[in-house]
Structure 1
């Protein structure tokens, strides 16, 4: 198992919008210095991305090999399935406050804590499933804040497709978007079965028509962490290629 060259530490931020303390994971690259400005990638399902997705380890290896530029990775943790649903699901009772927390409170905190690139390209988002929905929603609502986005098998409801259909011009975003070719039918922990593949193909067509820096990939397999983990290298290379 590869040894991490960079470092991972725990952090916390209090959200007035949510009236709770949110746990964070912070990855800093091995060559980190407060004197330089770094892009920041923010992950929904932070703990899962660090543990199951091996996001920090994958990025760490690519940075050491100088395949991608050095960047800071922030994992935003939730408190379990119910808390995740209330924050990530568009119908969740905490959803709108969570969106405000991400766009206003977390960004202000990170810009104060680190020497960041203040332009939209300096902040990126990554999310899977419902977390992918959150990442896409934030990037569409705040394209000048979140200029980069990795969507792994995102949940794409009809209203999201309508939102993208109504966009006439969107030139500031860099988006990597992937979905499994077996995701016609995925049953979530609550027992609800959804077709992820067709809505993702529909929104791919719409995003492809906008003047974005956009890449779409269909991988072999279903709605699983092992597939998202394997997909991270091309995703990170697309966003942070150092060549």
Structure 2
């Protein structure tokens, strides 16, 4: 394993939409300079992606080995538990406010604080489970802002499939999508859930569209240990040289 060369710092963004301070974890790639423009990867469940998913260290290794281009990573934190559900779930009380925060306040902050590409192809969203769902919703609503998506075992319901059916901006998107082969019977705190079947439905719909799309089924379940291993092909698809 290569020694860690990038740097991580904590920042805070005050959101008027959410009426709260949103903690951010920011990863700067090796040999970072303000004179160069960088693509930006935004992670839902930011602290979990940095700690359990090893997103920053995985990106660090791939950048140093020359497999992917350098990028800035911004991990968005939440208060966990109910706060995550209220922001990410389609019927959550903060869901609409969170989507407005994502589409307006966060991109404005990024463009102000960092030297980045302003076009949608310069920003990628990554999310797992409900974080994958909210990332997909942002991409479908604002494809000119979020032109790239990494969806790891996303929550998929009939509403998602209906929106996709009428969506017309596929040429604006580049999408990596994965799910575990053992996710048909994932034992969650609220009971057994099937993520595999709806994700295969999503795949069958997306594979018929003419855009950059990669789908993978990895051997594993709805777990960080499996999503972590799946990050390498995901990052290579989006940022590969």
Tell me the TM-score range normalised by the shorter chain.
over 0.9
Tell me, in whole angstroms, the C-alpha distance in 1 between the residues paired with 2:14 and 2:180. Answer: 36
Alignment of 1:64-143 (within 5 A): 64-143=64-143
Equivalent pair of 1:168/1:210 in contact (CA under 8 Å): no
* Other-structure match for 1:46: 46
SS in structure 2 opposite 1:30?
Answer: coil
| Structure 2: gaps spanning 5 or more residues | none
Q: Kindly indicate whether the alpha-carbon contact (under 8 Å) linking 2:140 and 2:167 is maintained by their aligned counterparts in 1.
A: no
TM superposition shift of 1:169 = 4.9
Q: How large is the RMSD of aligned CA atoms in angstroms? A: 1.0
Alignment match, 1:203: 202
Deviations 1:119-145 (A, max 9, x none): 111000000000000111111111110
Residues matched between the structures, number: 241
* Secondary structure of the corresponding residue to residue 222 of structure 1: coil
1:163 Cα offset (Å) = 0.9
1:225 equivalenced with 2:230 (yes/no): no
Q: Which residue of 2 aligns with 1:215?
A: 214
Structure 1 residue 2, shift from structure 2 partner:
4.7
Distance 2:38 2:224 in 1: 27
Moved over 4 A (4+): none
Counterpart for residue 10 of structure 2: 10
Give the superposition deviation at 1:207.
1.0
Distance 2:188 2:17 in 1: 28
Residue segments in structure 1 that go unaligned for 5+ positions in a row: none
CA offset at residue 187 of structure 1? 3.3
